[in-house]
Amino acid sequence: MADLICNTIVKLIIYLSVFIVLLFASFNQQFSISYKAASPPPSSQSGHFHHQVSLENMAQLISASSSSSSSNVLKEFPNNFTSLSSLFERSMGGGEKNSVYAQMKKVEKSGEERIEEGLARARTAIREAAKSKSYRLCCSNNGGNGNISRDVEFVPRGPVYRNPCAFYQSHREMQKRFRVWTYKEGDLPLFHKGPMNDIYSIEGQLIDELESSQSPFTAASPEEASAFFLPVSVVNIIRFVYRPYTNYSRDRLQNIVKDYIDLLSVKHPYWKRTDGADHFFVSCHDWAPDVSAAHPVLYKHFIRVLCNANTTEGFKPSRDVPMPEIFIPWGKLGRPPLSLSPEHRNILAFFAGGEHGLVRETLFHHWKDRADPDIRVYSYLPETLNYTVLMGQSRFCLCPSGYEVASPRIVESIFAGCVPVVISDGYVLPFSDVLDWTKFSVHVPIARVPELKKILEGVTEAEYREKQRRVVEVQRHFTVNRPARPYDVMHMVMHSVWLRRLNLRWRRMIR
């Protein structure tokens, strides 16, 4: 009997010893993994990620990015803190947690983990809002009572938005979570400064806004950033490096930007972490899309914010961001909006501009100098006529592409209260991930330019008045404010970048 008891005790001691060894081995493995996750990735680590963006529906856009609200970083570790805590609970019978478990719970999450968890919560909130048809539900997070707070200056409503509830929630999440780190490297005037006026001015205004201490998007440190901004000015590179013009080769432009990225990727870990997928630059110059042409692998995941958003020239809506081209006069931030009612608009369609590019050549061939008072097409206006006044008197304003697809006439039309007629193929319109351009504009394919008058006369009076009213509604989204204000053009551009970042899923592979 004594031998049986002794054998039983020996077996229990052996089993208990094995259990303790396995328990601490599991803890050490988990601690090692979490430490690696919090450390900067070595050069042998590679990022794996993808963009998923649908411009057809805001709910689809957000839901495509994540199937659950859990962190994308934590999902990659099978022995994560949650499963490890369950092991401890089972081993202790659900009783008091020992000091080792308490110490484990105090381990800080890395900045990457906190950012990814925040983005996951944002995706969940936007998906829930996208499903809602009622502002009482979609705005329920604002104060918790389903009512929109009085301090909310603007709430998007109506069919001009693809999903107003989703847009409203997404914009709120962006203001709360989206922080951008602007790299400090680079010297003036090629970096950190761009044109503040004239046709390419939106480039300089955005660079200046993101460099400003007043910007709500500025991250206090790169560890707090969910995106990284390259403050390079394509306009200034061309202005200062290419003068005098001896040739139009893009080599110098491409080399300057590539050398800058090489410097950043050696000096900081952030580019290599995602192969540049959470990095972006902004430019309105016609040459800007060519920056990435010489090194397609380097820019494979890089977000390009471009005025020249032409899908036939490599613009990818799932990755790149279309930006409106805005002419900003000297000493001003834009023209004041015109508010002539439809009754005072007696010109069916109007255009005045240079004859450059195939689209305008086609337009001029069919409609310039025709004895038709309804369609007024000029290469250059006579001194007796005023461009802004004619836009204000027109029902439709023609916006044909020039050498490139973008044109400041679209924004000029919107502020003139004139329904824009976009004559272009392959042009991705600004903010089309949230705005439904069919509700406040007309698109005419280049091949149908000869039918222009028939197409515009086919718009009924009721349809025209609805479009014209919605043109006035969207003016706030194309307004330049300094400092930027919610839902203005600066916030709209950043919201488009936010969506690309929100739909970016990446995970680091531990080797």
- DSSP assignment of 293-353 equals TT-TTTTSSPEEEES--BGGGT--TTT-EE-----B-TTSSSPPPP---GGG--EEEEEE-
Q: For 263-311, write each residue's pLDDT tens digit.
A: 999 999 999 999 999 999 999 999 999 999 999 999 999 999 999 999 9
pLDDT of residue 84: 27
Tell me what the mean pLDDT of segment 367-385 comes to: 93
> Would strands 347-352 and 303-306 be described as parallel, antiparallel, or unpaired?
unpaired
Q: Residue 510 above 80 pLDDT?
A: no
pLDDT of residue 200: 96
Higher pLDDT, residue 136 or 304: 304
Q: Which amino acid is at 373?
A: P
Q: Residue 67 above 50 pLDDT?
A: no
Q: Which of 248, 126, 244, 246 is nearest to 176 (CA)?
A: 126
pLDDT of residue 135: 59
Average pLDDT, the chain: 82
Tell me what the mean pLDDT of segment 162-189 comes to: 97
pLDDT of residue 41: 37
List Cβ neighbours of 84 (8 Å cut-off, separation of 6 or more): 26, 27, 30, 104
Q: Is the dihedral of CA 267, 213, 197, 358 positive or negative?
A: positive
In our burial notation (b when 16+ CB lie closer than 10 A, e otherwise), range 340-353 reads beeeebebbbbbbb
Confidence label for 13 from pLDDT (cuts 50, 70 and 90): low
Q: For 463-489, write each residue's pLDDT tens digit.
A: 999 999 999 999 999 999 999 999 999
pLDDT of residue 136: 58
Tell me what the mean pLDDT of segment 359-370 comes to: 95
pLDDT of residue 393: 96
Rounded Cα distance, 70 and 77, in Å: 12
Confidence label for 491 from pLDDT (cuts 50, 70 and 90): very high
Tell me what the mean pLDDT of segment 424-436 comes to: 97
pLDDT of residue 16: 61
Rounded Cα distance, 356 and 379, in Å: 10
H or E stretch at 177: helix 164-177
Q: Which of 238, 239, 244 is nearest to 287 (CA)?
A: 238
Q: For 68-91, write each residue's pLDDT tens digit.
A: 333 332 232 223 322 222 322 333
Confidence label for 110 from pLDDT (cuts 50, 70 and 90): confident
pLDDT of residue 75: 30
First-to-last CA distance in the chain? 54
pLDDT of residue 8: 60
Least confident segment among 97-101, 257-261, 421-425: 97-101
Tell me what the mean pLDDT of segment 369-395 comes to: 94
pLDDT of residue 397: 98
Least confident segment among 23-32, 361-370, 404-413: 23-32
- DSSP E strand stretches across 29-130: 47-51
Adjacent-strand bridge partners of 328: 198
Domain 342-478 top-level CATH class: alpha beta
Which ranges in 197-241 belong to alpha helices (H)?
A: 201-211, 234-241
Least confident segment among 103-112, 153-162, 242-251: 103-112
Confidence label for 216 from pLDDT (cuts 50, 70 and 90): very high
Tell me what the mean pLDDT of segment 367-393 comes to: 94
pLDDT of residue 111: 81
pLDDT of residue 223: 95
Least confident segment among 15-29, 104-118, 453-467: 15-29
Confidence label for 112 from pLDDT (cuts 50, 70 and 90): confident
pLDDT of residue 137: 55
pLDDT of residue 235: 98
Neighbours of 509 (CB within 10 A): 11
Tell me what the mean pLDDT of segment 111-121 comes to: 92
CA separation (Å) from 308 to 286, 430, 446?
6, 10, 17
Each domain of the chain, given as residue ranges in start order, spans 51-87+111-177, 186-330, 342-478
Tell me what the mean pLDDT of segment 335-354 comes to: 90
pLDDT of residue 69: 34
In our burial notation (b when 16+ CB lie closer than 10 A, e otherwise), range 199-237 reads bbbbbbbbbbbbeeeebbbbbeebeebbbbbbbbbbbbb
Tell me what the mean pLDDT of segment 15-19 comes to: 57
CA separation (Å) from 497 to 228, 277, 319, 503?
11, 11, 9, 10
